[in-house]
Amino acid sequence: MPKPPRIWIVTELYYPEDGATGHLLTQIAEGLASAAEVHVLCTQPSYTQQREKSPRVELHRGVHIKRCRTTSFSKDRLVLRVINMLTILISFSWNMVSGLRRQDRVLVVTNPPPLPFAAWLACRLRGAKCVLLIHDIYPDVLVPTKFTRQNSILYRVIDWFFKRLLFGVDRIITIGRDMQQRVLAKSDRLQAKTTVITNWCDQESIWPIAPTANPLRAELDLTDKFVILYSGNMGRTHGLETIAAAAKILEDAGHEKIHWLFCGGGGGKKRFAARCQQLNLKSVTVRDFFPREQLVYSLNCGDVAIISFIPGMSGISVPSRMYNFFAAGRPIIGVTESESELALTIREFELGWVVEPEQPQLLADQVLEIFSHRDRLATLGERCRAVALAQFSRERAIALYRDVFV
Supply the pLDDT for residue 31: 96
**At residue 96, what are phi and psi to the nearest 5 degrees?**
-70, -45
Q: Which residues contact 11 (CB under 8 A, 6 or more apart)?
A: 21, 22, 25, 40, 41, 42, 108, 109
Supply the pLDDT for residue 20: 85
Report the SS3 class of residue 224.
coil
Supply the pLDDT for residue 48: 55
What is the distance in angstroms between the CA of the first residue and the CA of the last residue of the chain?
20
Q: What are the contacts of 283-287 at 24+ separation with CB within 8 A?
A: 283/247, 283/250, 283/251, 283/256, 283/258, 283/259, 284/244, 284/247, 284/259, 284/260, 285/220, 285/222, 285/259, 285/260, 285/261, 286/262, 287/220, 287/261, 287/262, 287/263
Q: Which residues contact 168 (CB under 8 A, 6 or more apart)?
A: 120, 124, 130
Supply the pLDDT for residue 308: 97
Supply the pLDDT for residue 146: 84
Residue 99 burial (C-beta neighbours within 10 Å; 0-12, 13-18, 19+)? middle
Contact 119, 94 (CB under 8 A): no
Q: Which amino acid is at 51?
A: R
Supply the pLDDT for residue 4: 73
User: CA-based Rg of the chain, rounded to a whole angstrom?
Assistant: 22
Q: Which of 227, 110, 241, 250 is nearest to 166 (CA)?
A: 110
Per-residue pLDDT 10s for the chain (406 aa) are 566 789 999 999 999 987 889 999 999 999 999 999 999 999 998 765 555 689 999 999 999 999 999 988 877 677 888 899 999 999 999 999 999 999 999 999 998 899 999 999 999 999 999 999 999 898 998 898 888 999 999 999 999 999 999 999 999 999 999 999 999 999 999 999 999 999 999 999 999 999 889 999 999 999 999 999 999 999 889 999 999 999 999 999 999 999 999 999 888 999 999 999 999 999 999 999 888 889 999 999 999 999 999 999 999 989 999 999 999 999 999 999 999 999 999 999 999 999 999 999 999 999 999 999 999 999 999 999 999 999 999 999 999 999 999 8
Cβ density class 365-374: b for 16+ within 10 Å, e for less: ebbeebbeee
Supply the pLDDT for residue 90: 95
Nearest-angstrom CA–CA distance, 212 and 131 = 46
Nearest-angstrom CA–CA distance, 309 and 333 = 11
